[in-house]
Every structure is written in C-alpha cells, then in structure tokens.
Structure 1
C-alpha cells in the first residue's frame, strides 16, 4: 500500500514517528501539497495502482474518490451528529443539543457550545457567549462574505450547554478494535500522554461494539461532570496523533488494507 502524506501536516505531533515507521518497515510513501477544497495533489502522484491511503486534510477525500483509491479516506461526512446520537443516545456528551442552521440558530443562556453536525472541518467547535455568537452568525450570513471554507448560512450546526470536562482522550479504531489511544487534554490544559484511564478504554470499546460509523475511525471521549461521554468522531486520515503509538497504528492499517 502507498501512503500519501500532506506536507502541511508534517509539523504535527507524531508525524516524524509516522515517517520513521513507514521507512522502518519499507512502506512506500510520498509527500504532496494539497489544493484546498478540491484536494488535488501537487505534484500529481505517480502511482500505478489503487491501493493508497491518504493522511492529511479532509479535502483529500475528493481526490481519493476520483482515483478510486482503496482505502483512500475513511470518509465520515454522512455519519453526522444526528446519526451518532441515534446510535449512542445519552452516551453522547451533547445528547441534548439543538440542531439548526447558522441562519436560524437562536442563542440561549450565557454560553453555548457550537460546532458543525458533521466532520466537515467548516470550523472548530467552541464555546461562544451571546455577543460573540451574534457577531459570528452575522458574519457568516453576510451576503458579501467570502469564507475560506464552505461555511454558509444554511450549514447545519449543533448548539448545547457547556459541560465541565475533566479530561479528554482520543481512540483510534481499526477493524472494530482500539489500536492505540492518547490523553490530549486535562481540564483546560493541553496534555499529551499515552497513560489512558482504563475506564474510558472500556467505555469506548463498548460504544464502538454497539455501532461503528466506518471500518476505521477516531473516537474522542471524555470524563466529565455527567460521567464518561463520547465527544465526537473524527476521520482517521485527518486526525492528529497526540501521544498515540504510531507504530501500532501504521502496522494495523498496513496489515488490514494492503492488497495482497
């Protein structure tokens, strides 16, 4: 299998380990610039087969689909928040969120957590106060606005009340198994560690056993004021590595998806 890496992501934590492991195990790879939105690669890849995996921005799903690459990108666009809530229900951190468009969103309370309902990367989920949300909403709905992404007035978003989160973790799922995991935030402090609470590992294993949005994906989970919850799912191809065991991840993907 050939790995295509986006050069803009090479500064991410874990990317040196990714390249080192590809070279250690003799796995073919190449590095490319990625054209925003279209996902086109520069220079164009000189690959004479379709057994390719992409690691980089979410827009790479377009070029992967165009070339028929397998596995290409494990695209989660269709598995939006509505699908996640339908399967995982109260296990979701924001199970009580309101889903609406940017245009029709109504702010309530002092603060609200807002994010897109799918893994679109239109914007990063964050907590707004009323004034900040009003300014953001007006900017998105301005007819003269020229956004860097496809964010638009009719983009579906979710709004929910913020919950106190004690720690956040990322789990990489391949073929139904947790391959590796990482702590990435404790309270408000960014902190990468491979030391993960076993309770969270068991919780995530149970949830992925109930429903998997793809054969390979990432689950972010947390320990919060309401117990253990799923924060969101993410496309594995576009997710940071934090303190993951990159060697285990590389070998799991290579062994499962390399065409023999």
Structure 2
C-alpha cells in the first residue's frame, strides 16, 4: 500500500516508530498537510493506484472518499455508543449512560462524565461539574455561538456517573485479531507500557467474538472495582500509539490490505 500521513499527526509520541517501520521495509509513504473540513491535501499526492491507507485526523475522511482509496480509513463513526451498548451491554464502562442532545442534557449528580455518542471527536470526553457543564452547554446553544466546529445544540452526547478506574489499556485489532496492545494510564497518570496482563487480552478476545464495530479498529478497556470494562472504540487510523508495537501493526496492515 501507499501510506498517506498527516503532517501534524507525526508530532505525536510513537510516530517516529511508524516512519521507521515504513522505511525499514521499503513501504511507500508521503506526508501532507490537511485543509480542515474540505480535506484537501497539500501537496496533493500523485498515485498510480488506489490501494492507500491514511494515518492522521478525521479531517482525512473527505480525501479518502473523493479519491476512493482502499482501505483508506477503517471508519467506526456509524457504530456509536448506543449500537455498542446493544451488543456489549453491561461489559461497557458507561453502560448506564443517559443519551441526550447537548441542548436537552441535564446532570443528575454534581459531577458526570460527558462525551459524544460516536467516534466523532467533536470534543474529548471528560468529567464536568454541573456548573462547568452548564456554562459549556450555554456556550454551544446560544444563538451567536461560534460554529467553526461541528459541535451544535443537537449533537448527541452521553452522560454517565463517575466510576473508579485503576488502569486503562488499548488493543489494536486487525481482521478481528489482536495485533498489539499498550497500557496507557495507571492510577489516572499517563504510563505507556507494552506489557499487559493476559486477562485483559482474554476479555477483548471474548468481546470481539461477540461483536465488532469493524474488522479493524482499536478498543480501550479498563480495570475497575466491578471488573474489566470497555471504555470505547476508535478508528485505528486516528488513534494514539502509546507503547504499541508499531512495526508489528504496520506489517499486519500490509499483509491484510495490500492489493
């Protein structure tokens, strides 16, 4: 495949390992700036085929669609929280979330976790106090609100009670198989590490045998007082690497999707 990489994406931790792997195995790649919303690439790639994979932000979606690249992005945007909850049920950390529009959302406790229901990145999920959320809600719903982003009063969000999380882990799934994994947060602190207890991999394998939002994606799970839970799923092309074995991931993607 040819790999299209977003320039700003390469500044994140772990991206040097991606470049190193591509160069080590002589895999074609190019680096581009991406025009927000339109998705135009600067410079425009000159390619002789459409077997292209992209790594970067969600702003690459228009370029993938316009150029009919395959596999392009392993998009899970349509497989939102409510769809995941239908399949995974109480295995999800925020199973008891209330889903609402931004406009109609209301807190039931002093502090709650709030995030979009889908993998849109309209905003990053985080904990709000009731006062903070009220101010944020008003800033979006007032008539003169800034509309430079896609976040709007009708955007669907989920609100969940707070849960104690001991540690969080990310697993990279390619063709329904775990390829690599990483601890990324321990005791609330960023702690990237590749070594992960087998019980978390076993849990992930059970869940992906049950249902998957895509054959290739990332899934975050966490350790809680109530056991292992699913935090969320994300588009693999747009997800941070942490301490993943990036070379192993590159080779797995090449084997699975090169035409």
Cα deviation digits, residues 169-228 of structure 1 (max 9, x gap): 000000010000000000111110001121111101110111111121000000012210
2: CA distance, partners of 1:109 / 1:82: 22
**Which position in structure 2 is the counterpart of 1:199?**
199
Change (3 A) 1:33 1:105: same
Partner of 1:140: 140
Poorly superposed stretches of 4+, deviation over 6 Å:
none
Q: 1:120 maps to what in 2? A: 120
What's the TM-score, normalizing by structure 1? 0.98
TM-score (normalizing by structure 2): 0.98
Q: Determine if the alignment matches structure 1 residue 23 to structure 2 residue 23.
A: yes
Residue number in structure 1 paired with 2:162: 162
Deviations 1:123-173 (CA, angstroms, capped at 9, x unpaired): 000000010000000001121111442000000000010100000000000
Which ranges in structure 2 are unaligned for 5 or more consecutive residues? none
Q: Secondary structure at the match of 1:222?
A: strand
Distance 1:80 1:149 in 2: 20
Looking at structure 2, the residues matched to 148 and 173 of structure 1 have their Cα atoms a distance apart, in angstroms, of 33
User: Aligned pair 1:7/2:4, yes or no?
Assistant: no
Which blocks of at least 5 consecutive residues in structure 1 are unaligned? none
For residues 136 and 238 of structure 1, the distance between their equivalents in structure 2, rounded to whole angstroms, comes to: 26
Alignment of 1:12-161 (within 5 A): 12-161=12-161
Distance 1:234 1:149 in 2: 20
Match in the other structure for 2:212: 212
